[in-house]
Chains A and B, each alone.
Chain A
Amino acid sequence: MTTTAILSDDATTAAPPATPVPRRLLAVEHLDVSFASGHGRSARSNHVVKDVSLSLEAGACLAIVGESGSGKSVTARTLVGLPGSGARVTAGRLEVAGRSALGRPERSWRRIRGKDIGFILQDALVSLDPLRPVGREIEESLRLHGTTNAAARRAKVLELLASVGVPEPELRARQRPDELSGGLRQRALIASAIALDPGLVIADEPTTALDVTVQAQVLDLLAGMKERGTGIVLISHDLSVVARLADHVAVMQGGAIVEQGPVDQILGDPRHEYTRALLDAVPSAHTRGVPLTSAGRESMGAAAGRVRIDRPAGAPAVLRAEHLSKSYKGPDGRFATVVDDVSFELRAGETLGIVGESGSGKSTTAKIALAMLDPDAGRVLLDGQPWTELTTSQRRPRRRTVTSVYQDPLSSFDPRWNAERILLDALDAGAFSTAAAQRGRIVELAAAVGLAEEHLAKHPLQLSGGQRQRLAIARALAPEPEVIVLDEAVSALDVSVQAQVLDLLTDLQQRFGLSYLFISHDLGVIHHMSDRVLVMKDGRAVEQGDADEVFTNPQHPYTRELLASVPRVELAGSVD
């Protein structure tokens, strides 16, 4: 770390002792971080954080919101002196946990990391050492900061695990992250970060990759810490998480803070255009039938702003699943029923949303619907004809009727093919008499999903996440299907890109009369997209029906629990 502005001394930390104002944990003024890349003449500087000013007091939560690449994570890491290798940090003022952080040597940073500042990363499966029991990881924090007595450390580990709500701490401390459920291991990660009761906790996407009910528990845990006087810096791309925990919000775009203020003001009455776009892009019950992006609003809902047409209830079923069951042999040699007597009906031109947490069997159901996987019992009918019961060769001529889009298109593309080749592969080659006609169709498909002709020459790795997902959708459209199965198709995208893709899907459905089997763990997305929903838990369909009815008047206790766990952004009049 290089510093140009070095404060005169530590005088700034000596606040008058009698002041009743809460302790200042963070004072950042004009922070800039840039990374050098290349050597010699090709050396370039990548300016990642620009003129950022922040402040935080004990017992409060400051949220830094932005999309991937906005510089929010680098900002957070700079606060603990780990901005990354080759980083150049300058600031007018940079005080963390009451001490100046500019020009602080690594040795001195090490003393306060873990002790005065706790850091929580996302996804404990990889953020805790996957080869060690979680107890050892928590113990490490204690060992590094001077608890030399092993017995005392072990006792403290159990106490910590219990304090973050982990049942049976003696057993859990001996288990590895992969042996714990998502919620338990995230708690263990939090326990390792707060082992020494730091006054300041920085949480970088602490609930991303967690199921919604687990996310709610983790947020409650953080809220409890805040109440007891811990200051929290929350880094998130998810505005609904922010709404639940933060007191103060800073919105970052392209390395700079475009707007910051109290949470009510930022979420309720955003001044900056970018903040407004971010808020509008959040799919939810409010946005049902409304395009999420301004571009979408211009192209689609010109007149009334509503694009959803109420379909006649008697539309024929294109895909009908009857009593599907599937079980697998688990690692312990026992059979686990992953899909258990699931029936549903997808009608022409509608979207059926399947929602559930990880392990609920929704993806297995999708694979059976695609006839990629044979069910142990039950069957799927396509346009009233047998579908899953056919042999592979009987099914081949009708394969094109049902296509799919997955969460991570990159792994489903041949990396050596360019976009044009990928689409060509998906076309029915016999249907075109000339190469020109074929090429015309490919351009047409690309245009339908909003890709320009120049994108066709690119390889998947050269495309952005949103463009890749558009390409995957174009590929799914190529054989002119009736049904597209979308398995977490927008889950990996940033909120504004997700909004564009959702608008695109709605638009395509209108134009081509497609039926969607839309699978997601995100209730907001499901509610935004679906005509009807199917709620899955432990392989069973616990509830299904009209989307609005299920969401406003849930019958099953699990659906109610799920809905209660969803953090919401209060959108005071942002949708009209």
Chain B
Amino acid sequence: MTTTLHDDAGPDTVRAPSPVAARLHRTGVRVLSALGVIWAAATFTFFIQALLPGDRATLLLNQLTGQIQERTAGELAPINARYGFDDPLLVQYADFITGLLRGNLGMSYQLYKPVTEVIGDQVLPTIALTFSALAVAWVIAVVFTVATVKRVPWLSSLASAIEAFAAGLPQYWLGVILLVVFALGLGAFPVVGGTGLASLVLPALTLGIPLAGFLGQTIRSEFDAALDQPFTLTARMRGMGDTQVRLRHVLRHSVLPGITLSGWAMGALFSGAVIAENIFSRPGLGKVLVTAVNSRDLPVVCGVVILVAVIYVVANLLVDLAYTLIDPRMKTA
């Protein structure tokens, strides 16, 4: 109305860079920091690999032969030369980083295959599991919240208690229970392996139910607060019913903290996948990781760690994007 401060700001107004340049600047900073996170993860895993106690050449040779014994210098020399273990640490690091840039993560000690190939073969089932677990968690949390917040007092308290209980469930235990009840007992789902949709249900529930508990608890308080906002009263005054008010107005206001949590959960689900894949004998990175750790197949372990870092970074970029979609006010703030 009368507050036209921006329009007639006077001749001494200093013009800042254009909005486009500002946005490019912001995007640039974000991409750089994302690359920084991946670089830090890669560097960290490299030095762990190089500085861990135990001679790497001995380790490798023992694995090749299946024996555990001290090796002579003569035996180790060709291995050291081949893998560059004799080079100064910084040279090894430079080789590692340049390899990484070319998409080369080294060779698996155990499988004699490039690490990228080992991971590439198994990554899809894990990604499918992670995303379905996240989806399951969101569906459960949203349905539960919309249905129970501020209805009858005892129902809200009960629902909140159930959520807290779900959040505290150990995934391993939950997975076994689900397996015993639904696969072995009721025969509703396949017990072992498989790649179809049916085989995804129980593992996704195993990871999704505890996460749903966390999500529900985060969304619940926001949902509760948003229900008391004047705009919900305005909506009711228009003749809107309670369920519609909850779905069309209140829900959107309450999901932001849940979105933040999801960015973190992507990383947690990836590690949780190890458990679920183990229980349900699913193919996936979990199994690769467990085997690699047990046999000290360090290049594979590093590859998985770097992959998790990448997924983490991408998930958080998606979270930022979702934020501005859900709350457009954040664009200008």
Is the CB–CB distance between B19 and A333 below 8 Å?
Answer: yes
Encoded as 1 (CB less than 8 Å from any B CB) or 0, chain A from 133 to 151 comes to 0000100110011000000
- In the bound complex, what is the Cα–Cα distance between A337 and B1 (angstroms)? 17
Given A113-B239, A357-B2, A538-B4: A337 in contact with B10 (beta carbons within 8 A) = yes
- Where chain B touches its partner, the secondary structure class is loop
Contacting residue for A332 out of B6, B234, B248, B327, CB 8 A: B6
B44-52, B74-82, B199-207, B225-233 - interface stretch: B225-233
Task: List which A89-122 residues lie within 8 A (CB) of chain B.
Answer: 106, 109-115, 117-119, 121-122
18 pairs of residues in contact across A and B, judged by CB atoms under 8 Å: A82-B236, A82-B237, A113-B239, A121-B234, A126-B230, A126-B231, A131-B253, A131-B329, A141-B239, A144-B238, A178-B329, A181-B1, A182-B1, A192-B238, A332-B6, A337-B13, A338-B5, A358-B3
Judging by beta carbons under 8 Å apart, are A130 and B329 in contact? yes
Q: Does A336 have its Cβ within 8 Å of any Cβ on chain B?
A: yes
Chain A contact residue count (CB 8 A cutoff)? 58
Residues of B within 8 A of A491 (CB): none
Q: Name which of A323-331, A390-398, A404-412 contacts chain B.
A: A323-331
Is the pair A334, B239 in contact by a Cβ cutoff of 8 Å?
Answer: no
Extra pairs beyond A106-B241, A113-B237, A126-B229 (7, CB < 8 Å): A110-B239, A144-B239, A184-B1, A192-B238, A214-B2, A333-B16, A337-B5
| Cβ-based interface call for B102 (8 A) | no
Q: Are B237 and A334 in contact (CB under 8 A)?
A: no
B158 at the A/B interface (Cβ < 8 Å)?
A: no
- Indicate whether A213 sits within 8 Å of B2 (C-beta atoms), given known contacts A129-B231, A176-B328, A333-B16: yes
List of 6 A-B pairs having minimum Cβ-Cβ separation, nearest first: A119-B237, A333-B16, A359-B3, A114-B239, A114-B238, A113-B239
Asked whether, in the complex, the Cβ of A127 is within 8 Å of the Cβ of B231, the reply is yes
Residues of A within 8 A of B240 (CB): 110, 140, 144
B6 A129 Cβ-Cβ under 8 A: no
Provide the residues of chain A in CB contact with B6, threshold 8 Å. 330, 332, 334, 336
Give A115 to B253 CA distance when docked, in angstroms.
Answer: 27
Asked whether, in the complex, the Cβ of B22 is within 8 Å of the Cβ of A333, the reply is yes
Question: B12 contacts the other chain (Cβ, under 8 Å)?
Answer: yes
Q: In whole angstroms, how far apart are the Cα atoms of A123 and B328 in the complex?
A: 20
Q: Which residues of A contact B238 (CB under 8 A)?
A: 113-114, 140-141, 144, 192-193
Q: Which of B9, B236, B239 contacts A115 (CB 8 A)?
A: B239
Q: Which residues of B contact A82 (CB under 8 A)?
A: 233, 236-237
Give min CB distance, B57 to chain A, whole Å. 58
**Residue A357 contacts which of B3, B327, B328 (CB distance < 8 angstroms)?**
B3
Minimal beta-carbon separation of A98 from chain B (angstroms): 17
Given contacts A329-B16, A331-B333, A336-B9, contact A114 B253 (CB under 8 A): no
Given that A176-B329, A213-B2, A338-B5 are contacting pairs, would A110 and B241 also be in contact in the complex, using a CB cutoff of 8 Å? Answer: yes
Q: Judge if A189 is at the interface, Cβ distance under 8 Å.
A: yes
Residue ranges of A at the interface with B (Cβ–Cβ < 8 Å):
80, 82, 106, 109-115, 117-119, 121-123, 126-131, 137, 140-141, 144-145, 176, 178, 181-184, 189, 192-193, 211, 213-214, 327, 329-338, 340, 357-360, 537-539
- Per the bound structure, the CA–CA distance linking A571 and B128 in Å amounts to 75
User: In the complex, how many residues of chain B place their beta carbon closer than 8 angstroms to a beta carbon of chain A?
Assistant: 40
Q: Could you say which of B3, B15, B16, B22 has the most chain A C-beta atoms within 10 Å of its C-beta?
A: B3
Within 8 A of A (CB), among B48-67: none
A144-B240, A333-B19 known; A327 vs B235 contact (CB < 8 Å): no
Q: How far is the CA of A509 from the CA of B248 in the complex (A)?
A: 54
Tell whether B24 is near chain A: CB-to-CB under 8 Å: no
The number of residue pairs between A and B whose CB atoms lie closer than 8 Å in the complex comes to 131
Q: A176-B328, A337-B10, A538-B5 are in contact. Are A121 and B235 (CB under 8 A)?
A: no
A190 to chain B, nearest CB (A): 11
Complexed CA–CA distance, A117 and B234 (Å): 12
- Whether B332 is near chain A, meaning CB under 8 Å from some CB there, is yes
Nearest residue (CB) in A for B3 is: A359
Q: Is B71 an interface residue (CB 8 A)?
A: no
A358 contacts across to B, CB distance below 8 A: 3
| CA A332 to CA B20, docked complex, whole Å | 10
Give chain B nearest CB distance to A476 CB in angstroms: 29
Contacts of A335 in B (CB 8 A): 9, 13-16
Tell me the smallest distance from the CB of B228 to a CB of chain A, in Å: 11
Per-residue A-contact encoding for B209-252, CB less than 8 Å = 1, 0 else: 00000000000000000000111011111111100000011001
Contact between B230 and A121, CB atoms less than 8 A apart: yes
Q: How far is the CA of A140 from the CA of B15 in the complex (A)?
A: 40
Say if the beta carbon of B17 comes within 8 Å of chain A.
Answer: yes
> In whole angstroms, what is the CA distance A122 to B1 when docked?
18
Distance (Å) between the CB of A329 and the closest chain B CB?
6
- What is the bound-complex CA distance between A340 and B235, given in angstroms? 42
Q: Which residues of the other chain, A, contact B234 by a CB distance below 8 angstroms? A: 119, 121, 127-129, 137, 189, 192-193
CA–CA, A184 to B1, complex, Å? 8
Alpha-carbon separation in the docked complex, A444 to B93 (Å): 74
Per the bound structure, the CA–CA distance linking A137 and B329 in Å amounts to 17
Output the nearest chain B residue to A183 by Cβ-Cβ distance: B1
B19 to chain A: which residues have CB within 8 Å?
332-333
A183 to B4, CA, bound (A): 13
- A539, B5: Cβ atoms closer than 8 Å: yes
Contacts of B328 in A (CB 8 A): 131, 176
Given known A327-B9, A327-B13, contact A80–B237 (CB-CB < 8 A): yes
B70 CB-CB contact with A under 8 Å: no
- Whole-angstrom CA separation of A46 from B234 in the bound complex: 25
Q: A121-B234, A181-B3, A537-B2 are in contact. Are A340 and B10 (CB under 8 A)?
A: yes
A276 to B254, CA, bound (A): 46
Task: Tell me if A131 and B16 are in contact (CB < 8 A).
Answer: no
With most chain B CB atoms within 10 A of its CB, the pick from A176, A184, A329, A538 is A538
| Contact partner, B327, options A131, A144, A213, A538, Cβ 8 Å | A131
Contacts of B332 in A (CB 8 A): 331-332
B:295-333 near A, CB below 8 Å: 326-329, 332-333
